[in-house]
Structure 1
Amino acid sequence: MGRSRRTIPEELLLLALDPATGTTAQPQSLDLGLAGAQLVELALAGRIAPDGDRIAVVLPRPTGDPTLDSALELLRRRGSPVRAVHWIGGPRLGLRQTYLTHLERCGMVHAVAGQMCGVLPTTRYQATDTAISREIRARLDNAIRTGVPPDPRTAALAALAHAVGLGKHLYPGNEGRSSRSRLRDLIRHDPMGGLVAHAVMDVQNGVAAQPRRAPAAGPPGPGAGRQPAARATDGTPGVPAQPRRGSMARVGAR
């Protein structure tokens, strides 16, 4: 994959950067969005493909992007297709900081050291070329304003921006309500982006489900028959929904 084109994780992070404060909007959900954006980028590169609600590796050849290739290798090691919601909900410690450092190395942002309460060291990131961020934002604005189906990259970016809650950052207040609604509607224009965006929202809403191990054979316990089995979101009986996940580890810019 050539480096002349910005990746969707990079563009999502640039959209989330607040030019006034140097911090990222929606930092906790953004971590999930970046993991999802990697999946979309790998799909656009022909390395993975959706298999129902799962992700399958179809071409394990490296892309040339170290961060994407690390994700691709982890997917390959799974050996079988993995549910998108489980992949996105897995630990992604340092992913946001990895991309911030990458953007700094590419000259798109620069780090500004500071202190919180005059004691705790902090790092904020300012865009060095605001024209890049304006171009990314203009693509979303154009898709929202014209109603013309956007290209797959823009559609996926819009879906992820909505999924992580950037709509209220990009289009705030009552005056931005219709734009936020149209941003949400763009999710239907890219199947992979839609799959990943819904998985991101499912993780945030705590509806991801994992199969429960079959109980050991034996006589029923004293509580048998008193409580019906939980049902997963796909209707499978006996699969309890996961509890809502806690906050992601805080890394990089706040």
Structure 2
Amino acid sequence: MGRSRRTIPEELLLLALDPTTGTTAQPQSLDLGLAGAQLVELALAGRIAPDGDRIAVVMPRPTGDPTLDSALELLRRRGSPVRAVHWIGGPRLGLRQIYLAHLERCGMVHAVAGQMCGVLPTTRYQATDTAISREIRARLDSAIRTGVPPDPRTAALAALAHAVGLGKHLYPGNEGRSSRSRLRDLIRHDPMGGLVAHAVMDVQNGVAAQPRRDRAPATASATASASASAAPTARAAAVPMQPRRTGAMARVPAH
């Protein structure tokens, strides 16, 4: 993969970077979003594909991007499709610092050393070319305000920005409420972006270890309903069998 195009993880991080403070918004959820952004970028490169709520490697050939290829290799080693929510919630936090260092090497940001409370060393990051951040933001603004379906990359970026909570950072206050709502709605324009965005939100809501939340309650409800409706049927079917005295009992199908 050439360097003529910025990756979605890079763009998500640049969106989150505050030009005034040099810090990133939503740092805790941003790592999750970056893991999801890697999946979207690998899907756009034809290396992985969604399989239900799972991710399958369809082409293990490296992309040429070391950070993405590291993720691709980890997925390949799994040997079978992995649930997106398990991948994003896995023990690979620290992506924010990895990508900040990556952006610094690429010359997109520069590190500024400082201290917190005059004692603790800190590092802040300033964009070296604010035009890049403005261009990324302009794509989101255009998709929000025009209502024209965005390209897959912009749709996925919007979905991830919403998932990690950047809406209030990008469109603050009451005046930004409608823009935040439209940002959320853009999630439907890219299936892969929507899948990983929902997985990011599921991890934040603590449901990574559970089956998909839109299925579990329905399954339980269906099972209870089926059991309740099966009982009268079983009793009715058992009545004519009593005179046979064969010792067999009427069987109720398991649900």
Q: TM-score range by the shorter chain?
A: 0.7 to 0.9
Shift of 1:102: 0.8
The 8 Å contact of residues 17 and 24 in structure 1, kept in 2 or not, is answered as: yes
**Higher-helix-fraction structure:** 2
Pairwise CA RMSD of aligned residues?
13.6
Contact 1:152–1:189 (CA under 8 A) maintained in structure 2: yes
Deviates more, 1:196-205 or 1:92-101: 92-101
On the 8 A contact 1:212/1:240 being kept in 2, the answer is: no
1:253 aligns with 2:237: no
Q: Per-residue deviation at 1:68?
A: 0.2
State the Cα distance separating 1:211 from its structure 2 match. Answer: 8.0
- Quote how far apart the aligned CAs of 1:208 are: 1.7
The whole-number CA distance in structure 2 between the counterparts of 1:197 and 1:89 is: 12
Residue 218 (1) aligns with residue 248 (2): no
- Residues 184 and 241 of structure 1, relative CA distance in 2, 3 Å threshold: farther
How far off is 1:93 after superposition? 3.1
Q: Measured at CA, do residues 211 and 163 of structure 1 come closer, stay the same or move farther in structure 2, by a change above 3 Å? A: closer
Deviation at 1:150, TM superposition (A): 0.1
Distance across 1 between alignment mates of 2:37 and 2:251: 19
Structure 1 pair 251–99 and aligned structure 2 pair: CA distance change class (3 A): farther
Q: CA deviation at 1:209?
A: 2.2
Going from structure 1 to structure 2, the CA distance change for 1:94 and 1:159 (only over 3 Å counts) comes to: same
Percent identity over the alignment?
91
Q: 1:201 to 1:68 in 2, by over 3 A?
A: same
Secondary structure (helix, strand or coil) at the match of 1:183 reads helix
Aligned partners of 1:49 and 1:56 also within 8 Å: yes
Q: How many residues align?
A: 249
* TM-score relative to the length of structure 2: 0.82
1:152 is displaced (CA, Å) by 0.1
In the aligned structure 2, how far is the partner of 1:247 from the partner of 1:30? 62
> Distance between the aligned counterparts of 2:201 and 2:113, measured in 1?
33
Contact 1:125-1:253 at 8 Å conserved across structures: no
Match of 2:28 in 1: 28
Q: Is the 8 A contact 1:113 1:124 kept in 2?
A: yes
Structure 1 residue 180 displacement after superposition:
0.1
Aligned 8 A contact 1:210 1:239 in 2:
no
- Return closer, same or farther for 1:252/1:85 CA change in 2, 3 Å cut-off: farther
Deviation at 1:94, TM superposition (A): 2.4
**3-state DSSP class of the match of 2:243?**
coil
Residue by residue over 1:50-100, the C-alpha shift from the partner in whole angstroms, topping out at 9 and shown as x without a partner, is: 000000000000000000000000000000000000000001232111100
Counterpart CA distance in 2 for 1:200 and 1:4 is: 28
What's the CA shift string for 1:121-157, capped at 9, x where partnerless?
A: 0000000100000000000000000000000000000
**1:175 to 1:12, Cα distance in 2 relative to 1, 3 A:** same
CA–CA distance in structure 1, aligned partners of residues 243 and 92 of structure 2: 18
Q: Which has the higher contact order (CA 8 A, sep 6+)?
A: 1
Task: Assess, with a 3 A threshold, how the Cα gap between structure 1 residues 203 and 21 changes in structure 2: closer, same or farther.
Answer: same
Cα distance per residue 1:141-186 (max 9 Å; x no partner): 0000000000000000000000000000000000000000000000
- The answer to whether the 8 A contact 1:22-1:124 is kept is yes
Equivalent in the alignment of 2:38 = 38
Go from structure 1 to structure 2 and tell me whether the alpha carbon gap of 1:181 and 1:119 turns closer, same or farther (over 3 Å shift). Answer: same
Question: Residue 222 of structure 1: SS of its match in structure 2?
Answer: helix
In structure 1, how many angstroms separate the alpha carbons of the residues matched to 2:244 and 2:127?
Answer: 34
Q: 1:103 to 1:188 in 2, by over 3 A?
A: same
- 2:11 touches 2:136 (CA, 8 Å); kept in 1? yes
Larger CA Rg, structure 1 vs 2: 2
Tell me if the contact between 2:234 and 2:250 (Cα under 8 Å) persists in the aligned partners.
no
Unpaired runs of at least 5, structure 2: none
| Alpha-carbon spacing, 1:168–1:242, altered in 2? closer, same or farther (3 Å) | farther
Q: What is the alpha-carbon distance in structure 1 between the residues aligned to residue 25 and residue 252 of structure 2?
A: 13
Q: Distance in 2 between matches of 1:136 and 1:192?
A: 20
Shift of 1:207: 1.4
2:13 alignment partner in structure 1 = 13
Unmatched tracts of structure 1, length 5 or more:
233-237
Q: Is the 8 A contact 2:241 2:250 kept in 1?
A: no
Aligned residue number for residue 145 of structure 1: 145
Paired residues of 1:159 and 1:197 also in contact (CA < 8 A)? yes
